[in-house]
Amino acid sequence: MITCSVNLGQYVHYSVVGNDTSWHWTWSCDGYVTLIGGHALYDQGYPIVTGPVLAGGWSGNQNIRYNGCVGAYWWGSAYGTFSAPGHTSASFEGSSPTSLISCP
C-alpha cells in the first residue's frame, strides 16, 4: 500500500519581482507514483488560468501562475489521481484558502 498526502494550504499570492500571481502546492508519497490531474487559478470565482499536472516520483512541487496582477479575491484548486503498478489508485480534489490580492 502506498500512502500519499497533498498540501493545498498555501495562499495565492502576487510577486512584485515576477509581476505574476501564483499558487504553489505540494504532494508526497511513501512510494514511487504517477500523478495525473490538473489545477486552476480562480479570480472572483472564474477560472483565469488552468493547466494539466503530470508528474512522477515520491514527491513534487506544483505551480500555476497568471502573468500580471488583478486586485480581487483569488484561490487555487487542484485534482488528481496517484497510481502505481500493483496498487489501487487514489484520487484527491481540493482548494487553497481564499486571499485578497492587492496590486501595487
Is beta strand 73-83 parallel, antiparallel or unpaired with respect to 99-100?
A: antiparallel
Name the burial class of residue 25, with classes exposed (0-12), middle (13-18) and buried (19+) by CB atoms within 10 angstroms of its CB.
buried
Q: Is residue 38 part of a domain?
A: yes
Q: pTM score, two decimals?
A: 0.93
Is the confidence at residue 1, as pLDDT, over 90? no
Range of the domain at 77: 4-89
For the chain, how many structural domains are there in total? 1
The backbone torsions φ and ψ at residue 80, rounded to the nearest 5 degrees and listed phi first, read 180, 175
Any domain includes 102:
no
User: Is 100 domain-assigned?
Assistant: no
98 domain residue, yes or no:
no
Tell whether 95 is covered by a domain: no
Specify whether the CB–CB gap between 24 and 41 falls below 8 A. no
Summarised one tens digit per residue, pLDDT across range 24-35 is 999 999 999 999
**The C-alpha cell that represents 61 in the structure block:** 512541487
The answer to whether residue 12 sits within a structural domain is yes
Q: Answer yes or no: is 103 within a domain.
A: no
Q: Per residue in 62-99, pLDDT tens?
A: 999 999 999 999 999 999 999 999 999 999 999 999 99
Burial class (CB in 10 A: 0-12, 13-18, 19+), 74: buried
- Mean pLDDT over the full length of the chain: 96
